[in-house]
Amino acid sequence: MSALVIVGAQWGDEGKGKVVDLFAAHADVVARFQGGNNAGHTLVVGDARERTVVHLIPAGVLHRQTTCVIGNGVVIDPSVLCGEIDDLRARGYLTDPAQLLIDERAHLILPVHKKLDVAREERLGDKKIGTTGRGIGPCYEDKMARRGLRVVDLFDAEYFRERAARLLEGRNVELAQVYGWPAIDLDDLCREFATYAERLRPHVTDTALYVHEQLAAGKRVLFEGAHGTMLDIDHGTYPYVTSSNIVTGAVGTGAGIPPRTVNRVIGISKAYTTRVGGGPFPTELHDEVGAKLREVGDEFGSTTGRPRRCGWFDAVVVRQAARLSGMSGLAITKLDVLSCLPKLKIAVAYEVDGQRLETVPAGARKFASARPVYEEMDGWAEDLGQARRFEDLPSAARKYISRIEELTATPVTLISVGAEREETILLRDPFLL
Ligand code: GDP
Ligand code: IMO
Ligand code: MG
């Protein structure tokens, strides 16, 4: 039995897609267990550097022998999912419908959720969260309020209509009376979702049972986390977070497996830090160094195209993420980008109200006032794109990685030196760590 979890260790966009695609070559199943199409996972494959961005479909999809699972903890926008299936099929992937399984208990993102997400953000003005506008928050709210609609409901038109009517009753009042937006029409909604029922039917099943059976049969299952630990609804920089749990613990509920099944956890972190959207970010660089990281690292969102905020590596954040998720190893991505800087800094602690702090404080205002305590390190100028073994790296880069290991108390098991699959230094087999 082998269950490997991939978790983002920062604020998302750490390169999880690349690592999942790489490991999927050795996995029988790749399963998403939380979040929705607020995620954007980029895969770059082959000499032609063919680029694929997946938002809902697991990043193992380019491997035909790998079954992709969208677990019950994911919130699904069926219009986006159908579009993604069509795009992949048009490019010769996902030709066998059995390669994609969708859980019948997963909740559906409805048009009203997307509209509410955007309307609320507009109203918040400069206090906004900076959401992706995909309806994620309102959908999870309805799930918890026990008025949500689930994939299984698509196949019972009468029940779907009855539940949708009840949901829209309250949500339309908010949309129209609080925000002045046009209400959603029940007939239009039912008509549109009936088409998704037909499209998605071949993929829908009890995926918790499927994953259980696969694990029991000794298959290798990779759980693909979305976003990053600092965006976790409980453990992140609340309220500047997403609406799902991101830490390893979420695999239990979001994929329907007992937590003790998980035996390996790899955290993904950039060699520096980025964040999209609002919220505190102590090591953010507002100067030309930050601009350089954005330019060289091509730091623009895979989902919304927004410029990512850039800053130094924050060891406090990654150490906390490693603790929360029980990371057995770290994958450090985008090390190649740092070749553009002669000197590097790592935040090893914070100073808050004159006191040294070794953990991320809970309060948003306190975290916003945290001043990083930096350690400076030498950079390197060599192009790292061709490095395939640790020894191929310049000594300054090796020291930088070793310092990250010490500060996060976690071994680095993979180093990524380019977006493409091959541009990787694999230090240990992820399933055998
Ligand atoms: P994810 O959300 O964690 O899957 O990350 P994204 O795909 O949103 O963003 C990561 C970006 O960095 C993508 O454009 C990747 O192609 C790219 N990338 C991943 N690893 C590396 C790397 O080691 N070096 C460089 N230069 N780019 C990388
Ligand atoms: P991947 O999986 C980066 C951020 C949004 C916003 C906050 C809440 O690609 O790493 P939401 O739409 O979820 O309600 O927005 O969370 N966010 C991400 N940032 N990468 C992601 O996913 C993200 N998913 C959500 O920018 O600040
Ligand atoms: Mg992303």
CA distances from 277 to 77, 133, 274, 305, 315 (A): 21, 11, 10, 11, 21
Instruction: Please determine, for residue 433, whether its predicted confidence score (pLDDT) is greater than 70.
Output: no
Range of the structural domain that residue 190 is part of = 107-202
Q: Of 169, 202, 235, which residue constitutes the final position of a domain?
A: 202
pLDDT at 110: 98
Q: Of 162, 177, 202, which residue constitutes the final position of a domain?
A: 202
Taking the CA of 244 as reference, the closest ligand is 2
186-217 pLDDT, tens digit each: 999 999 999 999 999 999 999 999 999 999 99
Q: Does residue 217 sit in the same domain as residue 328?
A: yes
Element (H, E) at 191: helix 186-200
pTM for this entry: 0.97
Question: What would the two tokens of residue 325 be?
Answer: 């998720």
Question: What would the two tokens of residue 179 be?
Answer: 């925000």
Instruction: Please determine, for residue 432, whether its predicted confidence score (pLDDT) is greater than 70.
Output: no
Q: Does residue 294 sit in the same domain as residue 318?
A: yes
* Angle (deg, nearest 10), helices 186-200 and 78-90: 40
Question: What would the two tokens of residue 214 be?
Answer: 């696969």
Average pLDDT over residues 383-398: 98
CB of 170 within 8 A of CB of 124? no
pLDDT at 71: 98
If you measure from the C-alpha of residue 174 to the centroid of ligand 3, how many angstroms do you get, rounded to a whole number? 31
pLDDT at 67: 98
Question: Structurally, how many domains does the chain consist of?
Answer: 2
Q: Determine whether the shortest distance from the Cβ of 337 to ligand 1 is under 6 A.
A: yes
If you measure from the C-alpha of residue 387 to the centroid of ligand 2, how many angstroms do you get, rounded to a whole number? 31
Q: What residues flank ligand 2, with Cβ below 6 Å?
A: 8, 11-13, 38-41, 129-132, 134, 136-137, 226-228, 231, 242-243, 276-277, 302
- Give the nearest ligand 2 atom to 304 CA: 26
Question: What would the two tokens of residue 112 be?
Answer: 């009203």
Q: Terminal CA-to-CA distance of the chain, rounded, Å?
A: 14
Q: Does residue 350 sit in the same domain as residue 247?
A: yes
Active site (annotated) includes residue 13: yes
Which residues, 6+ apart, have CB-to-CB distance to 196 below 8 Å?
Answer: 78, 79, 82, 154
Q: Does residue 278 sit in the same domain as residue 369?
A: yes
Active site (annotated) includes residue 41: yes
pLDDT at 137: 98
CB of 26 within 8 A of CB of 206? no
229-249 pLDDT, tens digit each: 999 999 999 999 999 999 999
Instruction: Please determine, for residue 10, whether its predicted confidence score (pLDDT) is greater than 80.
Output: yes
Average pLDDT over residues 324-345: 97
Q: How far apart are CA 149 and CA 243, in angstroms?
A: 17
If you measure from the C-alpha of residue 12 to the centroid of ligand 2, how many angstroms do you get, rounded to a whole number? 7
Q: Does residue 123 sit in the same domain as residue 261?
A: no
Ligand 3 (single-atom ion) residues, CB below 5 Å: 13, 40, 302
If you measure from the C-alpha of residue 17 to the centroid of ligand 1, how many angstroms do you get, rounded to a whole number? 7
Pocket test for ligand 2, best of 229, 231, 306 (most atoms within 8 A of CB): 231
Please state the separation of Cα 293 from the chain's center in Å.
21
Catalytic residue among 21, 28, 41, 336: 41
141-179 pLDDT, tens digit each: 999 999 999 999 999 999 999 999 999 999 999 999 999
Q: Determine which residue's CA is closest to atom 14 belonging to ligand 1.
A: 42
CATH of the domain at 123: 1.10.300.10
Please state the separation of Cα 21 from the chain's center in Å.
14
Q: Of 143, 176, 202, which residue constitutes the final position of a domain?
A: 202
Report the percent of the chain where pLDDT is more than 90.
Answer: 96
Which residues, 6+ apart, have CB-to-CB distance to 348 below 8 Å?
Answer: 315, 316, 373, 374, 375, 407
Q: Does residue 309 sit in the same domain as residue 177?
A: no
300-333 pLDDT, tens digit each: 988 888 999 999 999 999 999 999 999 999 999 9
Q: Does residue 265 sit in the same domain as residue 153?
A: no
Q: How far apart are CA 37 and CA 54, in angstroms?
A: 8
pLDDT at 430: 74
Report the percent of the chain where pLDDT is more than 70.
Answer: 99
CATH of the domain at 239: 3.90.170.10
If you measure from the C-alpha of residue 425 to the centroid of ligand 1, how many angstroms do you get, rounded to a whole number? 15
Phi, then psi, of 86 in degrees rounded to 5: -60, -45
Q: Does residue 314 sit in the same domain as residue 414?
A: yes
Q: Determine whether the shortest distance from the Cβ of 270 to ligand 1 is under 6 A.
A: no
Instruction: Please determine, for residue 334, whether its predicted confidence score (pLDDT) is greater than 80.
Output: yes
Burial class (CB in 10 A: 0-12, 13-18, 19+), 377: middle
Q: Does residue 186 sit in the same domain as residue 234?
A: no
Q: Determine whether the shortest distance from the Cβ of 40 to ligand 1 is under 6 A.
A: yes
Pocket test for ligand 1, best of 7, 10, 20, 42 (most atoms within 8 A of CB): 42
Q: Does residue 124 sit in the same domain as residue 259?
A: no
Q: Determine whether the shortest distance from the Cβ of 314 to ligand 1 is under 6 A.
A: no
pLDDT at 431: 72
If you measure from the C-alpha of residue 81 to the centroid of ligand 3, how many angstroms do you get, rounded to a whole number? 17
236-283 pLDDT, tens digit each: 999 999 999 999 999 999 999 999 999 899 999 999 999 999 999 999
Q: Does residue 379 sit in the same domain as residue 300?
A: yes
Q: Does residue 243 sit in the same domain as residue 363?
A: yes
Instruction: DSSP letter for 130, please.
Output: -
